[in-house]
Structure 1
Amino acid sequence: MSEQEASVRSRLVAAGVDLVLHEGLSAVSLREIARRAGVSHGAPRRYFPTHLDLLSAIAREGYADLAARVTTTVRDAGPAPRDRLAALARGYLDYAAAHRGMFELMFRHDLLNSGRLGLRDTSLPLFTLLVDLVAQARRPTDAAAPVLAGALWANLHGIAQLWAWGSLQLATDATDDEALLRAALDAHLGPA
């Protein structure tokens, strides 16, 4: 790939990331990404064989951003595994709330299942970190760490989705999601 081709690809991905972050997933179209990247409306098809390829490249940027944020948050949480796990959970929920469109894109099943750009491979290191922290924080009688981590992740993802939809606020009268996060950790790992 020439330098010029790499530059256009990068501009298309950057324009897509900007569009998703500032206007949401529903605003994403090939034509709008091309317009924002300053290229012809046909250019995305020349650089990305399908719409899914471009969306996967955009989602990959989201995973990189989330991974960097979570890594920093976990590192700064101190040595206690449960504190590090709580920091990871808090970072996940905060990312979901602050970057709604990107969060939705990152977890689109058509992208994850398509094998485009190894997107599933991009998301697995985050899950591996979660499994490692759960393995350190779990009780010996708990389920295997990957199963327990999967259940916790499903719970956190559910909190993120239901919070964004306003359902949890309505059902629980909660004004923030911190009590829900703590309850999820306690439910999966036992009380702190």
Structure 2
Amino acid sequence: MESEGSLRERLIDVGVDIVMTDGPDSLGLREIARRAGVSHGAPRRYFPTHHALLSAIARRGFADLASRFEAAAEEDASPRDRVRALARTYLRYALEHRGMFELMFRHDLLDGKAQPSDLPPLRESTLPLFAHMVELVSRHTAERTAAGPATPAAVIAAALWTNLHGVAQLWAWGSLPLALGAAGQGAPEGADPLDRLLGAVLDAHLGPVNG
């Protein structure tokens, strides 16, 4: 007999599979229950609201992204190179897993008002990722100037994250490829179309490599 814990995890597993293959609009309770092979009322035993189940699925997305950040990290690389690897991972995740990325940053889930009170707000899942970015930015700026940056590392990291998130959204919507193509500034043939853009983002927030 399947335990309550394993059934709860199976419901989340099914939800993750649905959002990855069909997108967040397909995450209805009945559809999740159907694919999990349980009655349509079964999810309510483990998730009091639809939002609670969606939040649990989105937490898996943040855990997946965190593991990808860890895998992309090279301990011997410079802080700037590690920021670049983190930023590239963020953009690639956003573009390759658009459904999950959209779910992870849904405002109605992030504010936590519709989820069980015994769980921390989903928004707190972003804090370890942001803290890692702040640490790397702090180390990078410390290497660039002995006097330290005029702007706190947390503010620089927040601006960088904002820029990356905007790039991810505008690229997914097709606006940035269209604008860059119209301006004749697309990447050279065979090059990663995001690399030049990512380099400009890092230069804007961390300073040029030889600056």
TM-score range normalised by the length of the shorter chain: over 0.9
1:111-130 equivalence runs, <5 A: 111-114=109-112, 116=115, 117-118=119-120, 119-130=122-133
RMSD: 1.6
Partners of 1:101 and 1:77 in 2: CA distance = 31
Higher percent of residues as helix: 1
1:68, CA displacement in angstroms? 0.3
Identity %: 60
Q: Which moved more, 1:24-33 or 1:112-121?
A: 112-121
DSSP 3-state at the match of 2:111: helix
Residue in structure 1 matching 2:173, options 165, 168, 172: 165
Question: Are 2:55 and 1:56 equivalent residues in the alignment?
Answer: yes
Counterpart for residue 181 of structure 1: 198
Superimposed CA distance per residue, residues 79-118 of structure 1 (whole angstroms, 9 cap, x where no aligned partner): 3000000000000001111110000000111111116432
Superimposed CA distance per residue, residues 120-139 of structure 1 (whole angstroms, 9 cap, x where no aligned partner): 22221000000101111125
Counterpart for residue 38 of structure 1: 37
8 A Cα contact 1:77 1:87, kept in partner: no
1:4-153 equivalence runs, <5 A: 4-74=3-73, 76=74, 78-114=76-112, 116=115, 117-118=119-120, 119-138=122-141, 139=144, 140-153=148-161
8 A Cα contact 2:11 2:36, kept in partner: yes
Partners of 1:178 and 1:29 in 2: CA distance = 37
8 A Cα contact 1:93 1:156, kept in partner: yes
Superimposed CA distance per residue, residues 25-68 of structure 1 (whole angstroms, 9 cap, x where no aligned partner): 12211111111111111111121000110001000100100000
8 A Cα contact 2:83 2:133, kept in partner: yes
Residue in structure 2 matching 1:155, options 143, 148, 163: 163
Q: Which moved more, 1:94-103 or 1:113-122?
A: 113-122
TM-score normalised by structure 1 residue count:
0.94
TM-score normalised by structure 2 residue count:
0.86
8 A Cα contact 2:112 2:123, kept in partner: no
Partners of 1:142 and 1:27 in 2: CA distance = 47
Where do 5+ consecutive residues of structure 1 fail to align? none
Counterpart for residue 190 of structure 2: none
8 A Cα contact 1:60 1:122, kept in partner: yes
Where do 5+ consecutive residues of structure 2 fail to align? 188-192
- Quickly say closer, same or farther: Cα 1:182–1:109, change in 2 above 3 A: same
- Quickly say closer, same or farther: Cα 1:159–1:89, change in 2 above 3 A: same
8 A Cα contact 1:78 1:84, kept in partner: no
